[in-house]
Structures are given as structure tokens and as C-alpha cells.
Structure 1
């Protein structure tokens, strides 16, 4: 959470077996504009589509990024919003040179070698990459931390470059604008009856199918670029495996079946891995083609910031700490904390979700008056009451909306109000104990505690004689699952061993 974030309303979304809290009530037009421009990767693929993975005989040419290019203008307009929503830009000279080197090699063999690109490393621990029209490419430092060689980063960048050269952003805009208009008409004419809902669902399916076709095309072009640039064409499949393993590692419910989330922005990993391998076979058997670029990649990410940045506070196991704000709290055991720019989110079993953020308190209202000031939907006024939280002025209340029950806790420190919103399915017995844990553990931290907080970084080390996966994993920081995370960020399989002289990644201060 970056300092103080002023939000105007709360909204709740339920995703397949996971519950996240939306932070800012934004107009529909803003949400639509952002979704149009991000080339999000959809999850299911039409396996009847048989692409040609040979070098392109008919490249799809787009103009070089220029001020008078409408594509570039679109990208330039959205660029500041993207950067702000992902924690700003991440600047490190050697890491930026690494990404530029990879992108340069890919550009030379792209569908349009004259296309210019503006590549931004986003200061976010999330694992993501996407493109805007006009050659704006984005990759998060979280993705760079997970990758294990230059070929894997090249696989991601080539895929996103393919979205640009194939004009997917423009095509998607036209299709989504039509769907938005159609959806608005359906909503107005048919209201919320069954026919209206079915019509809206059909519109979403058409959008998903269109996006899947785009993703297939970008996959094919991307793998071709990998091979022609001299990188390992099988890197795309390898990194898809790593992303699937990371998703499993971070999941609150690792055994949950995610395949039914039809409109998920994450790929259906097993199917997509096989498709990527099929495309790569055009360049020969696995292990016989291309340079992985592992050594210069590791040199480029040594010292890379890992996880949360100091401006957003730190997650350490079940604890959130923020040195600048001078606070800390804990979530119950088994919860997964997601520290986003706009708020701290946490999800647990039983569809329990927590949101934490803060607002400036300029009016000096009582906290009971603040709770009842209109920002809580479904508030039960009779439940509002004053209290204290570890000696701090506080107030609590309950709310109920649709299928959810909520606990609201607000705490004042100086001119700031910190807010907890806990949500559970109606009637769940987990609401009270979850909210109690938050209140019991929220407190100020001492100046000494704040000073001791340091960010985590990727450290590249060389395996010495006698060192094992276990002894190296024991040096990991910032996680209770040291062995699992060490194997994950180094793409090590069960039964793997490390020979002396091998270079590996550790996470430490």
C-alpha cells in the first residue's frame, strides 16, 4: 500500500474460489478504456486453429511510433495510468540494459523490424507483461525475478511484440466498443431478467473467443521470433510451466480447480504449454537449438528488488508492516496477503477476504460519524460503536449486502484513518474471529522497528562444494516456505541436485 490512498466506495467481487475486494469506484468508461488497451492473455484456446510457425511471408506492418500515429497516441494516453497502477517505473541500469538487449534482438526478426518500442519495467512484484497500441511494452520486475534466463524473458516480450505488430489493441478496441454498446442496450431494455443476463453472457463469450484467437496468433509469432533471434524456442513452454507452478505456490487453495474460470486473464497452463512446444518443434528437438542467455541474464538481475517496495510496506509471512506509516498488523494463519498499490488485500479459505487502506482525515469527524458518512454500502447503523484498538481511537460496525456479511473497523492515528473491511459469505462463523485478529494485532511500530525494515532482493550466488539445495534454501528470507520458493525461482524439479559452480538465485536483504 503506497502511503495514503483515498477511496470513495467499496465493492466486492467473487472470482472462482477466490474473493478479492475492489478498491475504487470508477466510472464504467474508465474501466472499459483500460481493459481495451491491455493485451490480457485469455485462458482457453480453439485447438482447431492450425497456425503456420514458419517465418512470416506476409508480415503485418504497422507504422513506426510517431506523434501523428493514432496507435502511439492511444498508448501515450494510457501510459501514465498503467505506470501509476503498477507502482511506478523500476530503474536499475543493468536490468534496463538486459531488457533492452533482449528486445533489440527480437525487433530485428519481428513482423515489422521498423516498429519502435518503448519498454517499461514496472515496479511491481506481480508477474505480468502486456502491450499497448503503438509499441508500448511492459514487464514487471516480479516477472524478471521468476524467469531463469534471457530466453524466457524473450518469450514474454516476443509475445507482447506480436500483439503490437498484429494490431490486436486496435482490433480489440473496435470489438469491445461494440460489445459495450450492445450490453448497455440489453441492460436498459431487458433490465435484470433472465433473457438480459443470457444476452450479456453471450457477449462476453464472443469477446473471450476473439481474444483467444489473438492469443494464439501472438503465441505463434512469438515462438517464431524466439527461434529466429537465436534464443531457445522452447523457453515459452518452460516459462509457462514456471508461472503455473508459481500460481500453485501462491494459491490459498492449491487444489482448487481453476479450469472453469472461463474468462480468467491467466492462461490454461497445461494446454498452452503443449501448444508452445508444438510450435517450437519447427526449429528442431528440445535442447538442440538456441542460446538460453542464462549468464548475462543473471548478471542483469543480481540485486533486483524482490517483493514489496519500501513505499508500499512489507509482507513478512502473515504480517504487514509499513515503516513510513508506522503500523503493523497480522492476518490469520493460512491467509495470503496481496500488497497492491491502492490497498492491502488478503484472502483465506472459506471465501473470506480482507481489505486494508487509509484515508486522510481533514474534517476531524468522530469515527462513528465517519463510518455512517455514506462510503459503506449495506451499513447496519445500529451496529456502529466506539472502541479502542491497542490504545488507539477506533470504531466498528457491521454491514450486509447481497450474499456477503462485512465487519468494518476504522482506527485513527493523528490525521489519518486506517480502515479494515472483512467480508465473508452470509452466515459464515469466520467473520468475528477474522476481524478480532486484525484488531488485536494492529499497532504502531517503534522507530527502531521501522529502521530495521529492509527490502528483499534477488542475490545471485555460486554453489560451493558441499552446498546443497537444502543448505542454500535455508538462507532464503521473507518466506516460511524457503525450500519450495528456492526451487520455484530456480526452476528446480523434485530430485534435482546442484553441481559446484552452478549459479542460483536467493532472496535476501
Structure 2
């Protein structure tokens, strides 16, 4: 028995030793359960899920810009051997994030809040720093993907996650929380990397303060690279000191900021939600491009992505998904759906929805015995609706026990799917950034008044510009406004 215990201990020690790898940044041994090849493969597998979730922002100039700067910075990082990819995704959320293996993403929302290239470069270095120091891999070692909350999990019970396109294992990587030590290390690397390609890293500190103000103003969740950080004032001081030290070390007497060129590049950037991709008003979802609408149950949370529109009550006991269904006919689409989700049809009938041909299907999910013991049986109601050359699937999902409680809400949404004909909804356009040159100096407040910025939007626009309302703006200064405001 004793020899057996010693053998187990020796095996465990051997496995632990074999799981250690040299950290590219610190040179120290880290406990990781993933090789570099596995790390790269994980990033490659997860990238399509991220792009499907958010969509790529269609602006080739910005995509070229992030690729050019990203490649230049990656080349001087601690892991220049990786095949990095840099992309701007089509999301209004102010965020940037990285996946293992060198996949880095910036939202158009965060690009709107940078006021110069140096701020962009600092955050770019921060995200490359997470990759270089293998922070995601280290977090993977501490928490398996099965334990990571997926995007859908914010409003849905786990039983329903498989029915949501957001329930991809790769997307769980976005929600791995880095510890404060990891974030401090990425701040340090962001300063180092951006300084090494010639940027003024002090601007990075200013941007983090802007983000803190933006989060307080909007009430949005704090981006990952802010969520576990210490006091922002302490962080501001630390980054500024690091920036000063690197300027001295590199003899960087003229560091790049590039304010005007950056502002000109983001002139016309979509700001906030893009209604062309679908929008909600008064509990109704409208899609101007696909020309349909349907109601959302009162007080339900919702999420719109390029793949799906998801709705759920806040208790997470049900979910509805709108997706495009593959298949040439309603019957073919129904057959594929039943196979995809292992459904057993309880009832099916042909019907019409506001004059559109449809199939209504009640089905239960077939479950293995072990699954049945772990979670309640699932029942679905699906309306497959043919319209404008597409087949739309509106699927309501709940447990068998709760199904009757949500049936009326499911059917009210599905049976009120209809063509969109209102001109005001069909023609709704996104708000865009508009960069203007100040013709007359004054306070930020006075400049905004000249452009008829509403009083209740002034603080938001001041934060967008990285300024306070009482700051003075000199004649000839470029500022960011919105396309909906006109100069008087």
C-alpha cells in the first residue's frame, strides 16, 4: 500500500513537472496544461465563433490599420514567432480582447473612444501582452471551459445554452478573468511594446481614465482589461511612470501621438448600435435590411448578433431564438432542425403567419439516461416561416414543467412575425462620428452648444473626446461630434 502511494505521488510530481513551461516574458517556469501547438489550435478554432458572434466591421482602411500596427508591434514582442491576426469587429461595446495563439480583436466602439494613435497603440500592446505572457493559457489551467460562463449564460439557464449560437466553447475564452498581476503585467508590456515602435505611452494612461469615465456614464459592464484592475488613479500613476522610464531607456525624445491623422481615419465610423442590423423600439424588433418585425415579451432581455436574435426572461427559465433555417422548403428545414437538436416531434401543423406560409412544431429533446438524471427534459415550440426567399426559425425553449407558463409568450411573438413596411423603420440609418475643426475657441461646453449638442448628451461627447466640459478648446482643434448634430 505504501509503495503504491509513493508511485502515485511520483507520477503526480512527474506530470506536474511535465506541465511546466517557460514563460516567454518572465523566463520563469509556469504551470500550464497546454502546449504552444494546442494554444494556437484553440485560437484558430475559436476565431470563427468570435467573428460569427460580432461580425467584421466593413471598413478596409481600419482593418489595414490594425493589421499594420499589430504586425509591427508583434514583431518586437516576446513571442514574434506567432502568426498574429488583428481584426476590428462590428460591436458598439467599448472593448478589446485577445484569444490564445495571437488573435486580437478591437471593437469599433473602442476605436471611437481613442483620440490618437498612441492611445490605440497602448491598448494594442496591452492585448498583445496577454498573448505574449500566455495569460489565457494560465487561466485555462485554473478553470476548464466547462466552468466558464458563456455569453448566452448571462441571461439563460445552462440547459438552454446548446440552442444558442453564442454557446460556443471558444467564446468562453472571452470571459476568462485575468488576475491583477496579469493585468499589471499587460499594462507594463503595453507601455514597453508601444514605446518600442515609437509611441508616447503616457497617452495610454489618459485613455484608461477616459474608459473609467465612460463606464460610469453608460453603466455598461467594465471591459475585461479594466475589470480586475486596481484603483484607476494608481494605475494612471503606474503607467505614466513606466512610460517615462521607457522614454529614457530608448532615448525617445519625440514620441508619436498622431492625433489628427487618427481622427480623420475614424471620421464616419458607426457610433452605437447599427439599426441596419436590426433594432428594438417599444418592445418590437425591426430588421430594415431583411424587412421583418416581431414583438418581444415585456421585460425580457435580448441580444442581437449576426447569427441570431435571442430573447429570455431574466429568471433564465426560457429562451427564444430567431435564426435563418437551412433548407429549400419548410419541410426540409424542419427535418434538419429535428436532426440537429435530437428532437422528438410531439405535434406539427402547417399554418400561415400574417399571410406567410409556416410550420408550427412542438418537440421534445431526446436525452440519454445520464443527462435525464442531471437536468430536466426540454420542450420546444418552433415556427418556421418562409418569407422573401428565406426560412426563419423562431424557436421557444423551456423545460417540460415550465413550458405551459411560457407558451402564450412564445406564440404571441411567433404569430406576430410580419413584413416590415413602415418607411421610417426601413430607412433608419446609424449615427456616425463626424470630425469637425473648431472655428472659434472656447470651452468644450461652448463648442458643443454651437453644434446644438443636447444638454443631456454633452458629458457623453466630452468623454468621447477625452475632455472635460470646462476644458478650453483652441481654434483649429479637431473634435468628435455625431452626424445628428448640425452647426448653427
Query: Normalising by structure 2, what TM-score?
Result: 0.59
- Give the one of 469, 479, 482 matched to 1:504: 479
Work out which structure has the larger RCO, using CA pairs closer than 8 Å and 6 or more positions apart in sequence: 1
Query: Aligned pair in 2 of structure 1 residues 209, 336: CA closer, same or farther (>3 Å)?
Result: closer
Output the aligned Cα RMSD.
Answer: 5.6
Instruction: For residues 41-98 of structure 1, give each alpha carbon's deviation from its aligned partner in whole angstroms, at most 9, with x where no partner exists.
Output: xxxxxxxxxxxxxxxx98769xxxxxxx837953773375256324554453432454
Instruction: For residues 220-246 of structure 1, give each alpha carbon's deviation from its aligned partner in whole angstroms, at most 9, with x where no partner exists.
Output: 222333455554434444434444454
1:11 equivalent in structure 2:
none
2:201 equivalent in structure 1:
233
Counterpart mapping for 1:289-304 below 5 A: 291-304=256-269
Query: Aligned pair in 2 of structure 1 residues 460, 406: CA closer, same or farther (>3 Å)?
Result: farther
Q: Distance in 2 between matches of 1:306 and 1:340?
A: 16
Equivalent position SS for 2:241: helix
Instruction: For residues 289-312 of structure 1, give each alpha carbon's deviation from its aligned partner in whole angstroms, at most 9, with x where no partner exists.
Output: 9554321211221223445568x7
1:469 equivalent in structure 2:
448
Query: Aligned pair in 2 of structure 1 residues 133, 417: CA closer, same or farther (>3 Å)?
Result: closer
Q: Which has the higher helix share?
A: 2
**Is contact 2:95-2:224 (8 Å) kept?**
no
1:99 equivalent in structure 2:
66
Instruction: For residues 19-48 of structure 1, give each alpha carbon's deviation from its aligned partner in whole angstroms, at most 9, with x where no partner exists.
Output: xxxxxxxxxxxxxxxxxxxxxxxxxxxxxx
**Is contact 2:180-2:228 (8 Å) kept?**
no
1:144 Cα shift? 1.1
1:364 equivalent in structure 2:
330
Query: Aligned pair in 2 of structure 1 residues 461, 389: CA closer, same or farther (>3 Å)?
Result: farther
1:413 equivalent in structure 2:
386
Q: Distance in 1 between matches of 2:407 and 2:39?
A: 51
Query: Aligned pair in 2 of structure 1 residues 209, 276: CA closer, same or farther (>3 Å)?
Result: same
- Give the one of 200, 223, 236 matched to 1:277: 236
For structure 2, list consecutive stretches of 5 or more residues without a partner in the other structure: 1-23, 29-35, 148-171, 248-252, 365-371
Q: Distance in 2 between matches of 1:111 and 1:307?
A: 35
Q: What is the count of residue pairs matched by the alignment? A: 403
For structure 1, list consecutive stretches of 5 or more residues without a partner in the other structure: 1-56, 62-68, 182-203
Q: Distance in 2 between matches of 1:441 and 1:343?
A: 18
Q: State the structure with more CA Rg.
A: 2
1:139 Cα shift? 2.1
2:420 equivalent in structure 1:
445
Query: Aligned pair in 2 of structure 1 residues 329, 250: CA closer, same or farther (>3 Å)?
Result: farther
Q: Distance in 1 between matches of 2:298 and 2:349?
A: 28
Equivalent position SS for 2:330: coil
1:139 equivalent in structure 2:
106
Q: Distance in 1 between matches of 2:106 and 2:189?
A: 18
Query: Aligned pair in 2 of structure 1 residues 412, 306: CA closer, same or farther (>3 Å)?
Result: same
Q: Distance in 1 between matches of 2:146 and 2:425?
A: 47
Counterpart mapping for 1:4-403 below 5 A: 70=37, 74=41, 77-78=44-45, 80-82=47-49, 84-90=51-57, 92-100=59-67, 102-103=69-70, 106=73, 110-111=77-78, 117-172=84-139, 212-227=180-195, 229-248=197-216, 251=219, 265=224, 267-268=226-227, 271=230, 273-283=232-242, 291-307=256-272, 313-315=277-279, 317-318=281-282, 320-329=285-294, 331=296, 338-345=303-310, 355-360=321-326, 362=328, 364=330, 390=354, 392=356
Q: Distance in 1 between matches of 2:300 and 2:197?
A: 43
Equivalent position SS for 2:239: helix
Instruction: For residues 297-328 of structure 1, give each alpha carbon's deviation from its aligned partner in whole angstroms, at most 9, with x where no partner exists.
Output: 11221223445568x72326555432442212
1:50 equivalent in structure 2:
none
Q: Distance in 2 between matches of 1:333 and 1:493?
A: 38
Q: Distance in 1 between matches of 2:129 and 2:289?
A: 41
**Is contact 1:131-1:137 (8 Å) kept?**
yes
